[in-house]
Amino acid sequence: MADVKKIATRESYGNALVELGKEHDNLIVFDADLAGATKTGTFKKAFPERHYNCGIAEGNMMAVAAGAASMGLVPFASSFAMFAAGRAFEQVRNSIGYPHLNVKIGATHGGISVGEDGASHQCCEDFALMRSIPGMVVMSPADDVEAKAMVKAAYEHEGPVYMRFGRAAVPVFHEEDYQFQIGKGEIVKDGSDVAIIANGLMVYEAIAAAEELAKSGINAMVINMATIKPLDEELVLEAAGKCGKIITCEEHSIIGGLGEAVAAVLSEKLPTPVKRIGVNDEFGHSGPAAALLKQFGLCAEHIVEVAQKFCGK
């Protein structure tokens, strides 16, 4: 797996905006003085007249984006997840969510893999915050191909969308012809003993874990659930019915994210044992991204341990 191409999904975000910008004159981009880090600087270079730096004023940026959307434009408002979902939550809720405006939020640097920037920037609460806003679509892509397809799907969707992209380079495992659809999960690997439902960088870790689990006789299904809201409930129920055990994996708090969304569906429609892998109600801290992910159990090795105990192996 060492020779697999790796690309940070924030890079994919910037590249996708440029490609869409060539096709759609109504697409504009707002940034909160982070064009280099969020990679919207790529769009700025191609379309300087359609890129607006709102400064370190994320709440104001969301309100300006709302105004642009009300005029028929399709704004992509970009910042770090901590600021886009956290600092600007009130404006996202009241100015974008409540009037259901066509604003797309591109949030980069989400999760523990922000690394050395530390707890203040390692946003592990954004899925929970954005899921709580009525009508908000919430998504997190697994690799470069899916991220670019997701940005295109977000443009085509009528209504507010929140997308989380990562700082760290992650393996690309999708083929270029991969078809992404909002609200639909993807079976990456079929299986019958336990279903591992993951999103973001945890999908590739789940794939690696499934390969290792096969050595101990555990046939694991792997599902890429890039859309957290609306959740693909049919696929969740299908996986639960076939495997009887579910493990969720996300670079987010176990509170309010993918794990809780899956558990809520199953508790109401098909009670199934669930194990949630994520950040366990604690803040992160500064350190190399790879080391932090292992420390917090966001890695293939930990998924294997949980699955083996879960399956009695």
Give the DSSP per-residue string, 236-273. HHHHHHHHS-EEEEEEEESSSSHHHHHHHHHHHHS---
Structure token pair of residue 129? 């915050």
Question: Tell me, what's the pLDDT at 313?
Answer: 76
User: Rounded to the nearest 5°, which phi and psi values hold at 75?
Assistant: -85, 140
CATH of domain 186-310: 3.40.50.920
Left, alpha or beta for 227 (phi > 0: left; psi -120 to 50: alpha)?
beta
Give the residue range(s) of CATH 3.40.50.970 domains in the chain.
Answer: 6-171
The domain covering 6-171 belongs, at the CATH homologous superfamily level, to Thiamin diphosphate (ThDP)-binding fold, Pyr/PP domains (3.40.50.970)
Structure token pair of residue 245? 């055990």
Question: Which residues pair with residue 276 across a beta bridge?
Answer: 248
pLDDT, tens digit (0-9, with 9 covering 90-100), for 148-200 = 999 999 999 999 999 999 999 999 999 999 999 999 999 999 999 999 999 99
The rounded Cα 144 to chain-centroid distance in angstroms is 12
Do 191 and 247 touch, CB atoms closer than 8 A?
A: no
Residue 58 among the catalytic residues? yes
Residue with tokens 């909160």: 32
At 1, the pLDDT band (50, 70, 90 cuts) reads very low
Instruction: Tell me the whole-structure pTM to 2 decimals.
Output: 0.96
- DSSP for 183-211, written as a single string: T--EEEE--SSEEEEE-TTHHHHHHHHHH
**What average pLDDT does the structure give for the chain?**
97
Structure token pair of residue 92? 């996202």
Give the residue range(s) of CATH 3.40.50.920 domains in the chain.
Answer: 186-310
Neighbours of 177 (CB within 10 A): 7
Q: Which of 58, 125, 205, 250 is catalytic?
A: 58
pLDDT average, residue stretch 1-9: 81
